[in-house]
Amino acid sequence: MTAVLIDLGDDWGTGRAPEPEPPAGRRGPLRRAAMLACAVLCALTVTAAAPAPPRRLTELARWFQPVAAISAVGSDTFLVNAMDGVAAYGATDGRLRWRIAGGLIDWVQDTGDVVVLGFAQPESTSSQPRLPLADAVAVDRRTGRVLWRTQAYLEQVAGLLVSYAGDPDRPAVEVRDPATFGLRWRVPGARSFALDRWGTGLWELAADGKLVEHDLASGAVRRSARVPLPPGDKVSVVVSRDAVGIAGRRFDADGFERTTDTLWYARADLAPVGGENRWPWVVDCGAGTSCAYPLDRGKPQLIDTATGTPIRPLEDTRHVGSPAGLLLFEAGDEVGSKIRARVEPMRHQERTDVAGWQVLSVTEQVAHVLGRVDQARTATHLAELTADGMRPLGRQPYVLMQCVSVPHALLCTTTGGDVVIWRVGRERA
pLDDT digits (tens, 9 = 90+) for 360-382: 998 878 999 999 999 888 899 99
Quote the pLDDT of residue 70.
96
pLDDT over 60 (residue 21): no
Does the predicted model carry a pTM greater than 0.85?
Answer: no
Identify the weakest region by mean pLDDT among 52-56, 109-113, 407-411.
52-56
Report CA 159 to chain centroid distance, whole Å.
18
Question: Minimal CA–CA distance to 111: which of 68, 162, 165, 174?
Answer: 162
Name the residue type at position 6: I
Q: How many whole angstroms separate alpha carbon 376 and alpha carbon 153?
A: 45
b/e 77-116 (16+ beta carbons within 10 angstroms → b) = bbbbbbeebbbbbbbeebeebbebebbebbbbbbbeebbb
Quote the pLDDT of residue 48.
42
Q: Give the mean model confidence (pLDDT) for residues 109-136.
A: 82
**Integer angstrom CA distances of residue 415 from 315, 380, 398, 399:** 34, 11, 8, 6
For the chain, the average pLDDT equals 84
Quote the pLDDT of residue 345.
86
Instruction: Render pLDDT for 157-183 as a digit per residue (tens, 0 to 9).
Output: 999 999 988 777 778 899 999 999 999
Banded pLDDT at 27 (limits 50, 70, 90): very low
Q: Give the mean model confidence (pLDDT) for residues 401-407.
A: 94
Quote the pLDDT of residue 331.
67
User: Residue 33 phi/psi, 5° resolution?
Assistant: -65, -40
pLDDT over 90 (residue 8): no
Q: Which residue has the higher pLDDT, 336 or 98?
A: 98
Contact assessment for residue 160 and residue 184, using Cβ atoms and an 8 Å cutoff? yes
pLDDT over 70 (residue 302): yes
Question: Could you tell me how many helices (H) and strands (E) the chain has, helices first?
Answer: 1, 35
Banded pLDDT at 336 (limits 50, 70, 90): low
Instruction: Render pLDDT for 214-245 as a digit per residue (tens, 0 to 9).
Output: 999 999 999 999 999 999 888 899 999 999 99
Number of residues assigned to the chain? 429
Instruction: Render pLDDT for 62-75 as a digit per residue (tens, 0 to 9).
Output: 999 999 899 999 99
Q: Give the mean model confidence (pLDDT) for residues 286-298.
A: 87
